[in-house]
Amino acid sequence: MAEPIPPHLVVLTGAGISAESGIQTFRADDGLWADHPIEEVATPEAWRRDPGRVLAFYNARRDQVRRARPNAAHQALAALEKAGLRVSIVTQNIDDLHERAGSRRVLHLHGEILKARSTVDRRMHYPLPRGGIELGDVCDKGSQLRPDVVWFGEAVPHFGEACDLVAEADLLLVVGTSLAVMPAASLLHHAPLDAPCVLVDPEAEALAPPGVTRLARPAGEGVPALVRHWKREGRLWMPEALLA
Ligand code: APR
């Protein structure tokens, strides 16, 4: 007899899942964009105007990521995959905390801070020179290296793949995102109509679109609680007990 197909959990994560690991989110009052305006550090125009400033901003982000460790939320998702469920993670985060926790299927919508690429050919990737990218570090075609991240105004190369994954979800778990950025936020519309969608975020009451179940807790508490139920039963569902 054929093995039963394990249920497919698709997880969309944002900066909030890494907050308890010490990585700053973006849109909080003390978030990254408060001190570093987007148009000065995270657009192609900013890069053309002042690449040194952009590199310094991302070198600091990289240092923060290197100091951070995966937290209970990253670890719970990795443990669920290890227990045999299909878990696909689509993350807006540029850190590698899902991978370091042990998750194997991770799609980075907005790129990866620990990679460098050419400015003339996005397929040319390079190991990070001396741990950070400086002005004068160039690719084989002689153009300046840049962080392999997606800036505002740039295309999101893996978006189609992310849509396909979400369209296969038996449950869509959304964690720690303000859902303020397109096209990532529109992924919720690609979930099958009969698949439950749950948002774990302290601000879930205010942020969740209609039809989305709200679990207003920090990721490090809400995600492991859900995962405990799912592992125990081997199926994906929304335990009412957690909503009380
Ligand atoms: N657990 C879960 N969620 C949390 C926690 C926590 N401990 N702490 C904060 N949050 C939530 C906030 O309530 C907020 O909804 O994390 C969310 C962070 O939102 P943003 O700062 O807007 O980050 P994100 O949604 O990931 O931003 C999307 O925008 O700036 C760009 O490219 C950047 O990938 C980023 C994208």
Q: What is the mean pLDDT of each run of 10 residues along the chain (244 residues)?
A: 79 98 92 91 96 96 95 98 95 98 98 95 84 91 96 96 97 97 97 96 96 96 96 86 78
Question: What's the farthest any 2 CA atoms get from each other in the chain?
Answer: 63
User: Hey, what are 112's tokens?
Assistant: 């990866």
Active site residues: 110
DSSP H helical ranges for the chain: 16-19, 32-35, 38-41, 44-49, 51-67, 72-82, 97-101, 159-167, 204-207, 219-233
Ligand 1, atom nearest to 203 Cα: 13
Model pLDDT for residues 41-85, shown as the tens digit of each residue: 999 999 999 999 999 999 999 999 999 999 999 999 999 999 999
CATH 3.40.50.150 fits domain 25-67+113-149: no
Strands 111-118 and 145-149: antiparallel
Question: Which among 201, 207, 212, 223 is the best mutation to test ligand 1's pocket, defined by most ligand atoms within 8 Å of the CB?
Answer: 201
DSSP H helical ranges for 140-188: 159-167
Can you name the residues that pair with 168 across neighbouring β-strands?
none
So what's the pLDDT on residue 4? 67
- 0.75 cut: is pTM over it? yes
Q: Which CATH homologous superfamily contains domain 1-23+70-110+156-244? A: TPP-binding domain (3.40.50.1220)
Comparing CA positions, the residue from 225, 162, 183 lying closest to residue 11 is 162
Domain ranges, ordered by start, for the chain: 1-23+70-110+156-244, 25-67+113-149
User: Hey, what are 207's tokens?
Assistant: 């942020």
Residue minimizing CA distance to atom 35 of ligand 1: 92
Whether residue 183 is preceded by a cis peptide bond, meaning omega within 30 degrees of 0, is: yes
Residue minimizing CA distance to atom 28 of ligand 1: 181
So what's the pLDDT on residue 197? 96
176, 150 contact by CB (below 8 A):
no
Ligand 1, atom nearest to 109 Cα: 34
So what's the pLDDT on residue 233? 85
Residue minimizing CA distance to atom 34 of ligand 1: 92
Q: Ligand 1: residues within 6 Å at CB?
A: 14-16, 19-20, 25-27, 31, 92, 110, 176-178, 180-181, 201-203, 207, 218-219
